[in-house]
């Protein structure tokens, strides 16, 4: 009772808001539960059975889950992207455990990514070769987001430091890059990477479509992350710089061991927000012909037998995106509530 009084009924407006939310939930939740669970259809022999049902047709997800999760990857080889997805999620989960933040975690990532590459491409250990144009679904979304973050973040740190540099040429170069990339939509960058980038390559050199999309995502994310990191750098009190200089530390020593750990700790919320945005922006690779998770669902809905079940399809897509975004958000909150453990300070 004391918890309810403190958190839900602490004042008149708080009590009114609580009662309004409870009333709204009482009105909306029962019909949604009936539609989504009690009256839902989970398995059918024919799609026409779904059209006669009163509830949701989750049979669409059951029927199309392979294409949604793995795209046009060869059907008999679906165990390979499934295993690659599990490996990638396991690497993310391991990186979220602070007790595993050791030097060997980088080796684990390198070995894991090599295994994922071997599984997806094949051509080794008797696995059939599969070109990147056949990759799709959830694994493509996760790979684009993972490599986008991995390569964009160090580039963003360098851009943020360059924008604050005392060297005019370096500073204006970084400013020009950030403002130019932030001033155009991601779709434009994807088109440029797909159409214009090959024109600047030497004759005979060709980059596949997936790599070109990845380059565009890295360039786009780096510009936004750079401004987030710069905001963290500006929040550092001047006496931190002065103290580091008084200790006789050089520029890179001050930056790596004193300034950056504090700046990144301050910038955790906007950093995670940008990462979540990048994860969802991977759906735009459809403009250059790649089938990510959302595109696979759209294509599945074009089959005449399953048209009209877009609500169930997009609810499923939303649930998948929400699961990953929620996990990132919870991890961000854990770092915010334990600031002393969120990074490596000067004492380390």
Question: DSSP characters for 56-69?
Answer: -BTHHHHHHHHHHH
Q: Helices 209-234 and 168-182 sit at what angle, rounded to 10 degrees?
A: 120
- Let me know if 346 is exposed, middle or buried by CB neighbors in 10 A (0-12, 13-18, 19+): middle
pLDDT for residue 52: 80
Task: Say if CB 263 and CB 228 are below 8 A apart.
Answer: no
User: How far is Cα 276 from Cα 214, in angstroms, rounded to an integer?
Assistant: 16
Helix (H, G, I), strand (E, B) or coil at 291: strand
Whether 101 is covered by a domain: the verdict is no
Strand, helix or coil for residue 41? strand
Q: Which residues touch 134 (CB under 8 Å, ≥6 apart)?
A: 71, 72, 73, 74
Tokens of 88: 């990638």
Question: What's the confidence (pLDDT) of residue 346?
Answer: 43
The answer to whether 113 touches 153, Cβ cutoff 8 Å, is no
Q: What is the pLDDT along the chain (348 residues), one digit of tens a residue?
A: 888 888 888 888 888 999 999 999 999 999 999 999 988 888 877 777 888 878 888 888 888 889 889 988 999 999 999 999 999 999 999 988 888 888 899 999 999 999 999 999 988 888 999 998 889 889 999 999 999 999 999 999 999 999 988 889 999 999 999 999 999 898 888 888 888 877 777 777 777 888 889 999 999 999 999 999 999 999 888 888 888 888 888 888 888 888 888 898 888 889 999 999 999 999 888 888 888 888 899 888 888 888 888 898 999 999 999 999 999 988 888 877 765 544 444 443
How many domains, in total, are found in the chain? 1
Q: Say if 251 falls within a structural domain.
A: yes
Q: Which domain holds residue 310?
A: 130-341
Residue 126 is predicted with a pLDDT of: 85
Burial 313-342 (b: 16+ CB within 10 A, else e): beebbeebbeebbeebeebbeebeeeeeeb
List of residues 6+ apart from 15 with CB closer than 8 A: 8, 9
Phi, psi of 344 (to 5 degrees): -105, 120
Q: What is the pLDDT of residue 173?
A: 94
DSSP 301-322: TTSGGGTT-HHHHHHHHHHHHH
Q: Is residue 214 part of a domain?
A: yes
| 124 part of a folded domain | no
Q: Is 122 left (phi over 0), alpha (psi -120 to 50) or beta?
A: left
Backbone angles phi, psi at 43, to 5 degrees: -140, 135
CATH number of the domain that residue 180 is part of: 1.10.3720.10
Rounded to an integer, what distance in angstroms lies between the CA atom of residue 11 and that of residue 307?
50
Residue 117 counted as domain residue: no
In-domain check, residue 210: yes
Name the token pair of 12.
């008149």
Residue 105: inside a domain: no
Q: In this structure, what token pair is assigned to residue 173?
A: 């170069």
DSSP state of 280: H
- Is position 3 within any domain? no
Q: So what's the pLDDT on residue 172? A: 94
């Amino acid at each position: 009772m004391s918890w309810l009084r403190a958190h839900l009924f602490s004042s008149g407006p708080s009590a009114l808001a609580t009662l309004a939310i409870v009333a709204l939930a009482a009105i909306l939740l029962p019909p949604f539960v009936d539609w989504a669970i009690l009256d839902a259809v989970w398995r059918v022999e024919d799609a026409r059975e779904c059209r006669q049902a009163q509830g949701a047709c989750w049979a669409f997800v059951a029927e199309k889950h392979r294409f949604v999760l793995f795209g046009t990857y060869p059907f008999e080889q679906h165990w390979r992207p499934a295993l690659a997805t599990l490996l990638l999620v396991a690497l993310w989960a391991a990186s979220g455990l602070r007790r595993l933040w050791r030097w060997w975690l980088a080796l684990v990532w390198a070995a894991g990514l090599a295994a994922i590459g071997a599984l997806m491409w094949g051509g080794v250990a008797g696995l059939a070769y599969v070109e990147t144009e056949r990759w799709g679904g959830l694994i493509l979304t996760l790979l684009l987001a993972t490599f986008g973050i991995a390569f964009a973040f160090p580039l963003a740190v360098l851009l943020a430091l360059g924008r604050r540099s005392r060297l005019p040429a370096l500073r204006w170069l970084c400013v020009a890059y950030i403002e130019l990339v932030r001033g155009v939509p991601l779709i434009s960058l994807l088109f440029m990477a797909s159409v214009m980038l090959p024109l600047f390559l030497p004759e005979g050199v060709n980059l596949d479509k997936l790599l070109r999309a990845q380059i565009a995502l890295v360039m786009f994310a780096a510009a936004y992350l750079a401004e987030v990191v710069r905001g963290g750098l500006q929040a550092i009190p001047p006496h931190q710089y002065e103290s580091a200089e008084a200790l006789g530390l050089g520029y890179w020593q001050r930056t790596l061991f004193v300034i950056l750990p504090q700046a990144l700790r301050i910038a955790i919320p906007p950093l995670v927000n940008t990462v979540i945005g990048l994860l969802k922006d991977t759906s735009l690779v459809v403009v250059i012909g790649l089938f990510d998770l959302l595109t696979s669902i759209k294509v599945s809905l074009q089959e005449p037998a399953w048209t009209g079940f877009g609500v169930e399809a997009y609810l499923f897509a939303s649930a998948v995106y929400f699961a990953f975004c929620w996990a990132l958000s919870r991890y961000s909150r854990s770092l915010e509530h334990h600031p002393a453990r969120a990074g490596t300070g000067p004492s380390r």
